[in-house]
Amino acid sequence: MTYQFHFAALLPYWPQFAQGCWLTLRLSAIAVAIGLAVGLLTVMAKRSTIAPLRWAAESYIEVIRNTPFLVQVLFIFFGLPPLGVSLSPNVAAVLALSLNLGAFSAEIIRTGIESVPRGQFEAGAALGLSPLQTFRYIVLKPALRIIYPSLAGQFVMLLLTTSIVSSISAEELTSVAQNVDSSTFRSFEVYIVTALLYLTMSTIFATVFKAIDRVCFSYPDK
């Protein structure tokens, strides 16, 4: 093996890498906020009494879950302009990520709500609580406790998925890395550093989410 590693060549680019991390985190945060809202609405639609709404929610979930994220991004970025909707790469990226998270989180939230026994809703009603109060004081916490680990895992997954929007040149860590690569020609070093940055971010978030889980949901079962 005659290859000489030159990580030093990347040192002058650290502000770009830092900026890339920040852009990735910001993109993920925005997508999580919108995606969760979309997920909640989808669950409501899926549990509604209006059949077409249920079908629409069901189709949305299945289409998103059974096609690759790359195709979803390309479809939104290249497929919508002919229909008269032109989006900038960054907006298309946020839209694609939110729609993707919406479908996955809807399934997670639904299992959480369905895990709470019917009797709990009825008990709330028997105590004279309104449906909203029943939800807030009886259903919410045990449901959250059940969905929290999967939801947290989904957020970390989203953080890693954001790398794919570099393919439509939206701004985040991987597209920054590609720029650094094309000006330094140290591809292997650039992508080692980038992978380690992602690993660091995802590990920090996984640890923080686990700590929150311990603090908030570690009360005994019965």
Partner 1 sequence: MIRDFTLTEFWVITAGLWATLLLSALAFVCGGIGGLGVALARTAPIKGLRLAAGVFIDFFQGTPMLLQLFLVFYGLPVLGIKVNVWVAAAFALTLHAGAFLGEIWRGGIQAVPLGQTEAAEALGLDYWTRMRHVVLPQALRMSFAPTVGFLVQLIKGTSLAAIIGFVELSRSGQLVSSITYKPLLAFGLVAVCYFAICYPLSRYSAQLERRLAVTR
| Minimum gap (Å) between residue 66 Cβ and partner 1 | 4
Which CB sits closer to partner 1, 138 or 201?
A: 201
- The alpha helices in 9-139, defined as continuous H runs, are 14-46, 51-65, 69-74, 89-115, 118-126, 131-134
Which CB sits closer to partner 1, 46 or 124?
A: 46
| Minimum gap (Å) between residue 11 Cβ and partner 1 | 19
| Minimum gap (Å) between residue 126 Cβ and partner 1 | 30
Q: What distance in Å separates the CA atoms of residue 38 and residue 35, rounded to the nearest whole number?
A: 5
Q: How many CB atoms lie within 10 A of CB 169?
A: 14
Which CB sits closer to partner 1, 105 or 166?
A: 166
Interface residues with partner 1 (CB under 8 A) are: 1-3, 62-63, 65-72, 74-75, 78-79, 81-83, 160-164, 166-167, 174, 187-188, 191-192, 194-195, 198-199, 202-203, 206
**Look-up: residue for tokens 């839209």?**
95
- Name the nearest CA neighbour of 45 among 34, 24, 59, 33: 59
- Name the nearest CA neighbour of 111 among 66, 157, 144: 144
| Residue 99 near residue 127 (C-beta atoms within 8 A) | no
Which CB sits closer to partner 1, 74 or 129?
A: 74
| Minimum gap (Å) between residue 142 Cβ and partner 1 | 19
| Residue 162 near residue 31 (C-beta atoms within 8 A) | yes
| Minimum gap (Å) between residue 167 Cβ and partner 1 | 6
Which CB sits closer to partner 1, 107 or 134?
A: 107
Q: What distance in Å separates the CA atoms of residue 69 and residue 186, rounded to the nearest whole number?
A: 28
